[in-house]
Chain A
């Protein structure tokens, strides 16, 4: 499914300085029964966010209005555990477009990119600088520039580059999934077809 294009985001960020955030925390298994992709945002981090009686837990970051934005900053080994793509859907549906961490679980990383979320891996040191900047000013602006593969903390102008494979980068910049990618090279495919013997 096609999603919105991703080029440059400049936004405040929501800090979640916890390591090993697993996909069961991101979206608990009991919410996986839906048959559509939409609507998972309401249950993002459900058990950290709400008490058993569905009242919000005051101290959880998503319930504190001074933190907001399109970027989620997580501790090391973000997205481990079950391979459920629903975890990425929930993050996207809530309104995040980018997750920054010093390490991502593999499947979560792939799932995210497939649906239009950019996972950005930064060094342990740089992650720490981002957390400090947000601590000083909850509205600290972070810029994620996909075309030049750079993350910048605007207030201090500190930058770090990040890696991404070329195919996924193109897809994100153009808002494509595999079918869109293939349709976009339709002329190349048709050209190729004229050379086939079959």
Chain B
């Protein structure tokens, strides 16, 4: 049978279409549904109002992460609204027979960290969650994206969602990344080139040697941020690195099932001759450690550069000025040497073991700067354990850092981890919007290496000078 060449996205999408609605959306079957305490209660309420059950409870996985405290997790949660949401999650999952890793469970952690960690996320799956950074799972060659609460209800009730197919974009980076340049820098670089809305309406495939040579943790960081350029999601074709990561994880297939799965996973790549609606090419050598200077993730620059002038970028003068004003920066000034108050390493973007290894590589043998308050927050209990087992905790402690307990923390500052008004934070998370990390907080997005360099020097510092 001769067929047209298909992209990775086509293969996974078409393989999950239950029904094509003529003149309407596709009905897409969802393999894995993650839920958390914040966006699920209203969806369960909807089910109850309709008197409808959960169609496949075994395909939904719940964890508590968005508003959980990152200290004293053994104590009752103080914030009443948070405590209510946590209780609702516990009760709803119990009622419908859904697996729930609540606070204190050794498998608890940020939803997009625990999914891959436990082998729930597997190549070729469709994955949704009521959190926009669900795109993280695209690192395994999945179609993964965030959904709204009414769609959460839809997936619980029918294991499907109704959506039109997105357009296709491929972003290629070839060559190699320089020493001191991480996956976070690669994705911040891409977003700075495409702008925060540059991929709106597209599903993105990342391709080229830079991604082929990247670890799974790095690929997750890249796919996680794909939505920050407006994309529906991002994905990377699974390969030997992917298979090696998955093998042996708790919920991964074994024995014969593994062989069958592997044979299928190996077909998950874009066929030669496939056509994309849009394609970009970049070179790895052009990327340096990145930092954001403004209030959207597209406002990023190489750390040794100067803040651009409004004229040199496309966004309107007014919003550019407003953004710099909020940050307390001026155009055409360097970022290097600017004072920093807070450093946050964590989140589903950079809260995996590799990120803490990178962080430790710089702080080892150095001391935390006195002016810095640092929040070091693992993405999950598994990561927390790795940090301890690998001796990273000793390095942290010796350098004057404390390790907190897992959760989303200052990524969205729904719990107590809020950056105070006007303070500067170098953050390894994914959004630098006004007020995202607390009212008036000034966020500079960066890699774990840049975060570590700021943490030990107290100012924005090129991590390459400390390696």
Contacts and interface: CB of A to CB of B under 8 A. Distances in A.
B260 A182 contact: no
Interface string B102-118: 00000000000000000
B162 A181 contact: yes
A167 B19 CA distance: 11
B158 A179 contact: yes
B264 A182 contact: no
Nearest to B20: A167
Contact of B24 (A166, A179, A183, A190): A166
A156 interface: no
Contact of B261 (A179, A182, A186, A197): A197
Contacts of A42: none
A52 interface: no
Interface residues of B, number: 28
B336 to A, nearest CB: 45
**SS of A interface (majority):** helix
A181 B264 CA distance: 31
A167 B157 contact: no
Interface string B250-286: 0000000000110010000000000000000000000
Given A197-B264, A198-B31, A192 B18 contact: yes
A178 interface: yes
A193 B159 contact: yes
A186 B23 contact: no
A151 B154 CA distance: 34
Nearest to B23: A165
B23 A166 contact: yes
A182 B29 contact: no
How many chain A residues sit at the interface, stated as a range, is 10 to 19
Contact of A185 (B19, B22, B25): B19
Contacts of B260: 197
Given A179-B154, A182-B154, A197-B261, A189 B160 contact: yes
Given A178-B154, A182-B154, A189-B55, A196 B22 contact: no
A193 to B, nearest CB: 7
B50 A179 contact: yes
A182 B160 contact: yes
Given A178-B154, A179-B158, A198-B122, A189 B29 contact: yes
Among A179, A190, A196, residue most surrounded by chain B Cβ atoms (within 10 Å): A179
Contacts of A57: none
B18 A183 contact: no
B153 interface: yes
Given A197-B261, A198-B122, A182 B24 contact: no
B417 to A, nearest CB: 31
A188 interface: yes
A1 B124 CA distance: 32
Contacts of A165: 22-24
A186 B55 contact: yes
Contacts of A193: 29, 56, 159
B413 interface: no
Given A188-B18, A189-B29, A198-B32, 14 more contacts: A165-B22, A166-B21, A166-B23, A167-B23, A167-B24, A179-B157, A186-B158, A188-B19, A189-B18, A192-B29, A193-B159, A197-B260, A197-B264, A198-B125
